């Protein structure tokens, strides 16, 4: 069996799967024969499930708020004790505008969804995987984690945490058969920028990657057990440059992309 083959009856959980990268990751799983438990905080998750069932795999959908520990508990319980072969932790939120102009409860929800809820789910599922000494995990980080995110500060901060955490957890599990992969996309053609109220920004109006291609890159990296993958060659260059560029310069560059009204400048 090669690293990319899956056994009959494999089971995957995909979060943030109602649209965008998450839905495309679920499609990758279905095409590879995984039965699915998919979750999102919006009713469109049911339509996504109907679409995925046409591939012939079993699909359970759950509309749930994964920014709360109660929501994560509901998702974990929905697996009904079935061993999880793959977890694709993709749920995330964004928020534009200057930090001091944001509603703090919205900012907190970004933090709770991207960090607290993700870590709580990982603690549950990765712990079970370690006990079985088997499993694959894909965590959706972002190249935004390499840049101080002026006018997107909370989001970029959460992704810096997730990127770093992914590498740390991978190292902690290196003696096991559980693999951790961090997918780090750049701007992708999803509903993210509309939901984050960033359609009037340069990055919101700019060219974006195809979510299906981004998902396939991440999915293949997960099956191969790779530690990380940056989707797209331009993003690879940007990530490399971020490592040698002063933080103040990166923050100013990000300002030009994400400041409200920058689409017209």
Does residue 155 carry a catalytic annotation? yes
The pLDDT confidence band at residue 8, using thresholds 50, 70 and 90, is low
Question: Of these residues, 120, 159, 216, 234, which one is catalytic?
Answer: 159
Which of 4-13, 146-155, 238-247 has the highest mean predicted lDDT (pLDDT)? 146-155
CA within 13 Å, CB half, 248: 0
Lowest model confidence (mean pLDDT) among 151-165, 215-229, 239-253: 239-253
**Tokens describing residue 49:** 């499930």
Instruction: Answer yes or no: is pLDDT of 1 > 50.
Output: no
- The confidence score (pLDDT) of residue 3 equals 52
Question: Of these residues, 155, 202, 213, 236, which one is catalytic?
Answer: 155
% helix / strand / coil in the chain, to the nearest 5?
50, 15, 35
| Spatial separation of the C-alpha atoms in residues 10 and 29, rounded to whole Å | 9
Which of these, 177, 148, 182, 150, lies nearest to 164 by C-alpha position? 182
What whole-number percentage of the chain has pLDDT above 70?
96
Instruction: Answer yes or no: is pLDDT of 241 > 80.
Output: no
C-alpha distances (whole Å) from 175 to each of 1, 130, 157, 178 are 21, 10, 30, 9
C-alpha distances (whole Å) from 51 to each of 17, 61, 71, 121, 181 are 12, 11, 24, 25, 26
- The confidence score (pLDDT) of residue 207 equals 87
Judge whether 205 and 187 are in contact, CB under 8 Å.
no
Instruction: Answer yes or no: is pLDDT of 88 > 90.
Output: yes
Q: What is the pLDDT of residues 140-195, one digit of tens each?
A: 999 999 999 999 999 999 999 999 999 999 999 999 999 999 999 988 888 888 88
Does residue 159 carry a catalytic annotation? yes
Model pTM above 0.85: yes
């Amino acid at each position: 069996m090669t690293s990319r083959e899956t056994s009959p009856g494999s089971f995957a959980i995909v979060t943030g799967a109602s649209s965008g990268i998450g839905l495309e990751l679920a499609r990758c799983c279905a095409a590879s024969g995984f039965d699915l438990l998919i979750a999102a905080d919006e009713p469109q998750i049911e339509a996504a499930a109907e679409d995925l069932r046409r591939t012939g795999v079993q699909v359970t959908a759950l509309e749930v708020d994964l920014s709360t520990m109660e929501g994560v508990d509901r998702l974990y319980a929905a697996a009904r004790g079935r061993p999880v072969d793959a977890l694709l932790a993709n749920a995330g939120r964004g928020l534009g505008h200057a930090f001091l102009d944001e509603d703090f409860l919205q900012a907190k929800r970004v933090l709770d969804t991207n960090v607290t809820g993700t870590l709580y789910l990982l603690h549950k599922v990765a712990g079970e995987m370690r006990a079985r000494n088997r499993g694959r995990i894909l965590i959706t980080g972002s190249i935004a984690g390499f840049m101080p995110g002026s006018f997107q500060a909370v989001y970029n901060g959460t992704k810096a945490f997730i990127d770093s955490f992914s590498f740390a957890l991978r190292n902690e599990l290196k003696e096991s058969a559980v693999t951790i992969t961090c997918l780090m996309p750049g701007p992708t053609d999803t509903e993210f920028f509309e939901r984050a109220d960033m359609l009037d920004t340069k990055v919101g109006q700019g060219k974006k990657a195809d979510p299906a291609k981004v998902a396939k890159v991440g999915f293949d990296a997960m099956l191969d057990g790779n530690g990380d993958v940056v989707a797209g060659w331009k993003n690879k260059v940007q990530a490399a440059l971020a490592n040698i560029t002063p933080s103040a310069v990166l923050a100013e560059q990000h300002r030009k992309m994400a400041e409200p009204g920058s689409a017209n400048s």
